[in-house]
């Protein structure tokens, strides 16, 4: 009996150690519990330090104050319209960037001559902050919707081009040679080998860049905007209303989290055979 208990304890210890091993997967239930647990810990710490008076409300509002300000935003300031405008700007700029960047990235990855021609310029532009273009975009496009969409476009398009080019260019050479052996043409190689092979990773690249697009839209809305979450945050900052500022930041995070989960679910459905 004692030997059996010792054996069970040893197995439990080994299982516990293995669960902490590098790259060791965890169950879906455990992943959800750990993720929710962090948010509970975060909000509990925030509530403790703010409600107990350790932090001045001028610098950091409590969760209770934030909820009260959120109700005010929705009932008195039509905040749902600001959310809709911000979502529309992100999607417009991101979709426009994807429609242009993905074909260019595929062309660069598939054809080394195109890559040699475009990569220096794309790499140069990739390091330029999108916010630096705002003064020029205001001169060229005014302070309307086009200016904000272009900020997101500039911030996303060059990143997507280069990442897609690297992804497509990393295709297995043996598959390409096998396709040539079977009589495939150069265009057939791109359509039947390179694009299908890179499609899951391209989808993952788009998911990552969509997250970056959310940072660009707030920058675009901070200047010359009369609507949007960024506009609300700017107005709240002028009034030192940290409750509304924090709520705006949380709303951005929640929308981004939902879009990220939706993108992941779509990718799994479209590319169920892939490990991504």
In a domain, 26, yes or no: yes
What pLDDT is recorded for position 240?
A: 87
Do 98 and 141 lie in a common domain?
yes
Q: Same structural domain for residues 194 and 103?
A: yes
For residue 130, the enclosing domain spans 63-270
57 within some domain: no
What is residue 2's predicted lDDT score, i.e. its pLDDT? Answer: 54
> What is the total count of domains within the chain?
2
Look at residue 132 in the predicted model and tell me its pLDDT. Answer: 84
- Pair 209, 217: CB distance under 8 Å: no
Per-residue pLDDT at 84: 94
- Identify whether residues 189 and 116 lie together within a single domain: yes
- Identify the pLDDT of residue 12: 46
Residue 275 placed within a domain: no
In this predicted structure, what is the pLDDT of residue 74?
Answer: 94
Q: Do 78 and 177 belong together in one domain?
A: yes
| Shared-domain flag, residues 115 and 242 | yes
- Asked if residue 90 and residue 33 are part of one domain, the reply reads no
Say whether both 86 and 38 belong to one domain: no
Are 170 and 83 found together in one domain? yes
The answer to pTM > 0.85 is: no
Is 276 a member of any domain?
A: no
pLDDT, position 246: 94
Q: Residue 202 in contact with residue 57, Cβ under 8 Å? A: no
Residues 182 and 47 in one domain: no
**215 shares its domain with 157:** yes
Does 178 map to a domain?
yes
> Is 58 inside any structural domain?
no
User: Has residue 187 been placed in a domain?
Assistant: yes
pLDDT of residue 189: 83
Looking at the structure, do residues 42 and 87 belong to the same domain, yes or no?
A: no
In-domain check, residue 56: no
CATH code at position 139: 1.10.3720.10
Instruction: List the pLDDT tens digit at each of the 276 positions of the chain.
Output: 555 555 555 554 455 555 557 768 878 888 889 989 999 999 999 999 999 988 888 889 999 999 999 999 999 999 999 999 999 999 999 999 999 999 999 999 999 899 999 999 999 998 888 888 888 888 888 888 899 999 999 999 999 999 999 999 888 777 777 877 877 787 888 888 888 888 999 999 999 999 888 888 888 887 777 889 988 998 898 888 999 999 999 999 899 889 888 888 888 888 876 655
- 34 and 119 share one domain: no
Cα Rg, the chain, nearest whole Å: 24
């Amino acid at each position: 009996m004692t030997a059996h208990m010792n054996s069970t304890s040893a197995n439990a210890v080994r299982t516990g150690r293995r669960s902490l091993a590098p790259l060791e997967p965890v169950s879906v239930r455990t992943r959800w519990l750990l993720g929710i647990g962090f948010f509970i810990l975060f909000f509990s710490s925030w509530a403790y330090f703010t409600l107990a008076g350790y932090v001045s409300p001028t610098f950091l509002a409590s969760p209770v104050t934030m909820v009260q300000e959120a109700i005010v935003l929705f009932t008195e300031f039509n905040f749902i319209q600001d959310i809709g405008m911000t979502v529309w700007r992100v999607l417009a700029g991101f979709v426009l960037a994807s429609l242009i960047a993905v074909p260019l990235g595929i062309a660069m990855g598939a054809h080394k001559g195109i890559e040699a021609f475009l990569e220096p310029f794309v790499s140069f532009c990739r390091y330029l902050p999108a916010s630096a273009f705002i003064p020029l975009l205001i001169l060229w496009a005014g302070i309307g919707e086009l200016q904000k969409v272009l900020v997101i476009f500039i911030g996303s398009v060059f990143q997507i081009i280069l990442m897609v080019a690297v992804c497509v260019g990393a295709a297995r050479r043996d598959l390409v040679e096998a396709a040539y052996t079977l009589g495939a043409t150069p265009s057939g190689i791109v359509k039947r080998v390179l694009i299908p092979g890179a499609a899951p990773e391209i989808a993952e690249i788009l998911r990552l860049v969509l997250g970056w697009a959310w940072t660009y839209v707030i920058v675009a809305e901070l200047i010359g905007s009369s609507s949007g979450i960024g506009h609300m945050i700017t107005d709240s900052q002028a009034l030192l209303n940290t409750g509304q500022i924090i709520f705006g930041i949380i709303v951005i995070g929640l929308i981004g989290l939902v879009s990220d989960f939706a993108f992941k679910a779509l990718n799994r459905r479209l590319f169920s055979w892939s490990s991504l």
